[in-house]
Chain A
Amino acid sequence: MNSLDIVKIVLVLIGAPILGCLIAGIDRKLTSRLQGRVGPPLLQPYYDVMKLFQKDNMIVNPSQNFYVVLYVVFVILSLLMLVFKMDILMIIFVYTISSVALIVGGMSTGSPYARIGSSREIMAILSYEPILILYALAIYLLTGTFNLSALDNASSPLLFYTPLIFISMLFVMNIKFKKSPFDYSTSHHAHQELVKGMLTEYSGPGLAGIEIGHFFEYVFLLALMFLFWNVNIVMGLLLAVIAFLFVIIMDNITARIYWQWMLKVSWTILLVISVVNILFLYVTQVKIV
């Protein structure tokens, strides 16, 4: 590990939460404007976290905050692995650890609301994980390796050959950001029938930890979209911004139906178009390196 790597790590550890916090702030600002409200200041997510850290550490289960630590640490690890362009399939598995930690954390509290929320989040895994792995498979088929470093030498953007997977990934973003119509497990807005769902029993420092984890997660997820146009930073960032705007607009124009609908959409439409895209890559044997 050389000094450049250490600088990168420090940059991710400091820069990513700031960026994620701003993303969350912009989200709230845009959403409120779409709803005809003034909305909170841009730095409201930061103020929220600071306030939460000063609250009492109320717990129903002595171990519940352990899962928060696991969640945050493994989200950070998956982001770092992405920055260092390691094996994409491995990154997805590491990211799964963090998702599982949050689910088990919710269930560990024993609250009925949290357990229902966690059950639904498990169904969300069933909806999005196959698509994430197909995305990794597409990268392999186009570059001949699962190592993301190969994308640096790509002759053309990933997006040219994976438009259908890009569309599916937009919906995965929607599920992972926990935005309407996929906010079954827990919601950012005050319209959740399960109180705060999976996170009902988290408050104070534990919830602050989860919020910080979310900041990292936003950056990680949008970085996955960035990879679709990795060869040109401007275009990559544009794709990330498009994905982000898509999520916010969807959030504001759709209503939550029921979680079975999420599974149906994912396993019929999204999965099928992703598989079609993969088959196209197999048949044409196209390579971008």
Chain B
Amino acid sequence: MKKIRIKTSYKFLLVMGAVYLLLAVFNFGYFKIALSSFFSMLERIVPVMFLVFGVMVLVNLFFTEKRMRKHLGEGSGVKGWLYVIFTGIIISGPPYVLYPLLGELKEKGMKDSLLAVFLFNRNVKIPFIPVMIFYFGWGFAVVLSLYIVLFSVLNGLLVGALVKKRG
């Protein structure tokens, strides 16, 4: 018999569905509150998701993985630091997808400090900025993004030095 494999994300959704079903049976009042709050949250998010989609298309159109790889190698200098900040912001994807790629780049000579800078800048995600603005406002999005970029350099220098020191 063929074994059906369900992705973890779908398992999570199924579990949540089951929890809500149980809630509907045992505490219908609470179920109604939670579900209506879920739908009102969804109503607020859906329009922003269309914007996220549009920005994602633009990013995928103009920034390819191949183009990024070219500029991150050893001896890339100041340009490499700037490029790695830019790449960290632009490239999206879950860590389990990015780690193998970064491992490969490390083997090819990418410095620890640059790896740290890349990973720190993952926090600035242009396609998701509309959602951040929606919840926290323009000021917050700008200030936080600027601090992340500034601190990413310090972070890279510190991580690079500490890894080297503990050689």
- Say whether A associates with B: no
A residues neighboring B (CB under 8 Å): none
B residues neighboring A (CB under 8 Å): none
